[in-house]
Amino acid sequence: MNTTKKLLAMLLAISVCAPFCACGKDDESSSSSSSSVSVAERDESQQETLKSVTERFTDYLIENEGYASAEDIKLENPTIKWLSWWDINPQNDGDTISTDLQLFQDVYGGTVEYHVTEWGARFDTLATSIIGGEGIDFFSACDPDIFPKTAIKGQFVPFDDYIDLESELWEDTSEFCDMFTYDGGHYVAVCDVGPAAMCIYNKNTISSNGLPDPAELYRNDEWNWDTFKELCESFVSLSDTNYGIDSWYYEDALVYTCGDTLITLNDGFIESNLYSTNIERAQNFLYDLSTSTNVYLPRANYNWTVQPQMLGEGNLLFYVSYNWDLGKSAIEQYGGTENVMIVPMPRDPEADEYYHHCSITAYSFVKNGQNPEGVAAYLTAKKYAQQTEELQEISIQDQRDSGWSDEMIEMYADIKEMVLENPVYDFSQGCSADLQALITEGQRAAATGITWTEKRTEIETAFQTEIDAVNAQSAEGE
């Protein structure tokens, strides 16, 4: 099997979409719609592919959704209003229209009207738009601070009347949608599931320092906390200016490989998991890493900013982050396509499965939206595009054009498959800011040299108080 066919087989099996999810916060300063950009046309071959898929998608809808004809599929109201800090439409001159948006336009006659907000102000803008009757239709639910608070506050509405989660298109993510239920309704339409933070590294740094390649360790089922620790300690021992790991995400990402989170959620109500033995084991591992000088990059020495450029400079072994930190310019900064590689977070050697923190590509229907049928149509087009082989071939080329090597693409597919089998999702950010602050304080304590037992005792009373407050709000909202 040649490389492209092998990648297609792996990607299609897990409904891969382009990895550069715009759920990151890179565009939070945007202040205007990008509808005026000059859109690039795809090459003739890709245009023919899209034409063929458009015809098949039309036939699929006629056969499965009860439409009488292609004309019957066209939306009565073609416009859906999207409130976000990033645009679903092409954002820059020379960008192409994504394949799912192209299907939405060609088959449904739909358009996405972009309403701009900043990431940090998005919930305030959402509340104002609902009160003002702007008719915003949908909102990104990629970030974990969405649910359940927005459902409890009544800012989002269930989508069960518009999406059939038992249909063939949704069967791969319907169980994930079930995780986001409140008072019997589904509030987050999960279109795709992938890894959250991963280990990014520079292959040249590995080889030039005589260290084993993490990707090879992973393929040989030897990539775990122990080998991760050995690599970090070996690297920092070679120079006082070497550091093992950096980012704002590594504490959570490492802890969640134990398979547990600090709270559990059931239909909008949460319970404490503060005394999980799995969490304690993971926190002890973080503390153990803190006893070795320079395994953790000292953020305070760098004005509390992360230093991903050190990957390219050869002084940082691992930068732990999401796929939004793997765009073309970032890959060049990390050392270029020929040197940059990814692996999953190392496995907890005592866990019963290989667990990994997951992220989602997801959307929520906004209260008082004017066109829920149009949003459902867009999401149908998105799901169909994800599951169509020819469009995945286009997505693979888009990934290559953004600086990803075939080895990275194949590894990403591997990690996605693992995440689908054993996902770990943290709902704490979606409960309350105070609860999330306590969890962040607890998760990061061990990496700063404070034992988990000490920190757990310190936050326990406040932790339960916040849980009780969230559950009281949930009870009031029912």
Domain with 100 in it: what CATH number? 3.40.190.10
pLDDT digits (tens, 9 = 90+) for 163-216: 999 999 999 999 999 999 998 999 999 999 999 999 999 999 999 999 999 999
Rounded distance between C-alpha atoms, residue 331 and residue 309, angstroms: 10
- Tell me what pLDDT residue 37 has: 57
Rounded distance between C-alpha atoms, residue 298 and residue 288, angstroms: 16
- Tell me what pLDDT residue 326 has: 94
Q: Percentage of the chain with pLDDT > 70?
A: 91
Same domain, 342 and 468: yes
Non-local CB neighbours of 133 within 8 Å, separated by 6+ positions: 368
Same domain, 176 and 75: yes
Calculate mean pLDDT across residues 16-29: 42
Same domain, 288 and 344: yes
- Tell me what pLDDT residue 478 has: 56
pLDDT band at 476 (very low <50, low <70, confident <90, very high): confident
pLDDT digits (tens, 9 = 90+) for 359-406: 999 999 999 999 999 999 999 999 999 999 888 888 888 889 889 999
- Residue whose structure tokens are 């509030």: 187
Rounded distance between C-alpha atoms, residue 195 and residue 190, angstroms: 14
C-alpha 173: how far from chain center:
14
pLDDT digits (tens, 9 = 90+) for 114-158: 999 999 999 999 999 999 999 999 999 998 888 988 888 899 999
Average pLDDT over the chain reads: 90
Same domain, 108 and 254: no
Rounded distance between C-alpha atoms, residue 317 and residue 201, angstroms: 6
Domain boundary among 373, 406, 439: 406
Same domain, 90 and 118: yes
Same domain, 40 and 25: yes
pLDDT digits (tens, 9 = 90+) for 217-228: 999 999 999 999
Same domain, 161 and 15: yes
Q: How many structural domains does the chain have?
A: 2
Between 472 and 75, the more confident residue is 75
Contact 400, 179 (CB under 8 A): no
Same domain, 171 and 84: yes
Tell me which residue range forms the domain holding 28. 3-193+359-406
- Tell me what pLDDT residue 149 has: 86
Burial (0-12, 13-18, 19+ Cβ within 10 Å), 95: middle
Q: Count other C-beta atoms under 10 Å from residue 237's C-beta.
A: 12
- Tell me what pLDDT residue 19 has: 36
- Tell me what pLDDT residue 36 has: 54
Same domain, 49 and 133: yes
pTM of the model: 0.86
- Tell me what pLDDT residue 191 has: 96
pLDDT digits (tens, 9 = 90+) for 256-273: 999 999 999 887 788 999
Contact 181, 222 (CB under 8 A): no
- Tell me what pLDDT residue 28 has: 39
Same domain, 173 and 293: no
Residue positions counted in the chain = 478
Q: Percentage of the chain with pLDDT > 90?
A: 74
| 418 inside domain | no
pLDDT digits (tens, 9 = 90+) for 25-60: 444 333 344 445 566 788 888 899 999 999 999 999
